[in-house]
Amino acid sequence: MTPLSNIVPMKYASRKFIDLIQGATSKWANWDPPREIAVGDYGMIINDTGEFDWEGNIYSTHFQEQLKLSKYKFDIDLADPALRPNEQEGGDDQFIVKSWGVTTKEASASAKVAVPGANVALKLDLQFDGNKPAAVLVMHKPRYSSLPHDERIIRLLKSMPDILRGKYIVTEVISCAAYMMHMSDQKAENFSVTLTATGPVTPVVNAGGAAGFTWSSEAAYGLSRQGCDLAAKYMPLYRLKKPRAKFWEWPFGHRGNEKNDDAINRWDDVDPPWEPLDDEGEEDKIYDAEMHGDFGVFNDGYPDDDDDDY
């Protein structure tokens, strides 16, 4: 990973970037993509940084040992291929997430460049309007991994309320061999990013040292992170979900459509645990007049200190 910055990073840079990406796609950005985040992980979100606080994984040996101690005795073997995460290649060469304030335009890929033996795998023109901080995340050759839609997975999760109740579960991970993330400051800017492949653009088996990637960027402002390595598996984006409250009422009182709500695709996406953020990533708490018993307020929710008596 190569961090690049032309400004002093804001205190809550990771949280601001993650918040912008989450607002655009309902998925969570991994601020440190080389750090592994796997389908089946469970934990919470760290409020100050926005990063995932890992507590365990349902496929781990430890979790399997805890499952045997559950009062619900299910003979579920997670080594069964049908219960392993679904893996598939992305349909497109690129997966791009952008927040408000960013315009992207993909230039022609696989065009020859000046470096002998090199090809342009991706060239992207970016435009930031400069009104507010904005973010973009680019992944090349994405791969998708997700929890299988199998009723046995649901039964397994339900049998472990002491461990999983109140936790967030990683249900999908998007990985890649090359990524670029950029967060602008409040400066309008147009620039290009290029991913150059030396050797075959598509990773191949036994490519040896002949194949590789290199990012180049013309960014003058903001904060950028990027990585490219055919031998690596970066994990820049993942989906966090939480079961609905009635999920944990099982096996009692479960009937009709309530059972349908147990399906993973019916779970709620996890929302950020923080208040709305300002441009620096600080929580921008709105004054709650009703909570404070103060009813002399303007419509914007902030105190009205003016004397309106005539």
pLDDT at position 73 is 67
The 3-state DSSP class for residue 208 equals helix
pLDDT at position 204 is 38
Mean pLDDT of all residues in 204-229: 71
User: Which CA distances in Å does 56 have to 43, 65, 182, 273?
Assistant: 7, 13, 30, 20
Q: For all residues of the chain together, what is the average pLDDT?
A: 81
Q: pLDDT for 143-178, tens place per residue? A: 999 999 898 999 889 889 899 999 999 999 999 999
User: CB neighbours of 88 closer than 8 A, spacing ≥ 6?
Assistant: 143, 144
d(Cα 74, Cα 70) in Å, to the nearest integer?
9
Task: Evaluate if residue 119 carries a pLDDT over 60.
Answer: yes
pLDDT at position 230 is 81
User: 115-118 — which CB contacts under 8 Å span 24+ positions?
Assistant: 115/196, 115/198, 117/198, 117/199, 118/196, 118/197, 118/198
pLDDT at position 256 is 46
Q: pLDDT for 234-247, tens place per residue? A: 999 999 999 988 88
Please provide the distance, in angstroms rounded to a whole number, between the alpha carbons at the two ends of the chain. Answer: 64
pLDDT at position 13 is 93
Specify the higher pLDDT residue, 12 or 111. 12
In terms of DSSP bridges, do strands 52-57 and 135-140 run parallel, antiparallel, or are they unpaired?
A: unpaired
d(Cα 283, Cα 19) in Å, to the nearest integer?
11
Q: pLDDT for 275-307, tens place per residue? A: 999 998 999 876 444 544 544 444 444 444 454
Lowest mean pLDDT among 57-61, 113-117, 193-197: 113-117
Specify the higher pLDDT residue, 122 or 29. 29
Q: pLDDT-based confidence at 135, cuts 50/70/90?
A: very high
Task: Evaluate if residue 259 carries a pLDDT over 70.
Answer: no
